[in-house]
Amino acid sequence: MLSAIDEWRLEGKIENSISIINNMKNMGIDWGIISKATGIDQEQYQQMQLEYQQLIAQPSLSLEAQ
């Protein structure tokens, strides 16, 4: 199980990657270029979106639990 801080970091990293890819998609950039620029393909992107939704749906961990 992730600590609260690790969970927040992971959530932020995934959110940032999704945001960058969304911006590139909105600019009409082809997935081939997006994949080369980010190292993330369409399948990984979709998995990241699911993982992010699961992370934000979970109740936040308490720092006191550490």
* Predicted confidence (pLDDT) per residue in 37-63, tens digit: 999 999 999 999 998 898 888 766 554
The residue whose two tokens read 């369409």 is 42
Domain count, the chain: 1
- Number of helices (H) and strands (E) in the chain: give both, helices first: 3, 0
Q: Is residue 65 part of a domain?
A: no
Q: Give pLDDT, residue 60.
A: 60
**What whole-number distance in Å separates Cα of residue 66 and Cα of residue 55?**
19
Confirm whether pTM is higher than 0.85: no
Secondary-structure breakdown of the chain: helix, strand, coil percentages, each rounded to the nearest 5: 75, 0, 25
pLDDT at position 57:
85
Domain boundaries, position 46: 4-60
Q: In Å, how far are 9, 20, 40, 45 from 49, measured between CA atoms? A: 16, 13, 12, 6
Average pLDDT over residues 7-28: 92
**Within a domain: 66:** no
Tell whether 55 is covered by a domain: yes
Residue 25, domain member (yes or no):
yes
**Does residue 13 sit within a domain?**
yes
Q: What is the mean pLDDT of the chain?
A: 86
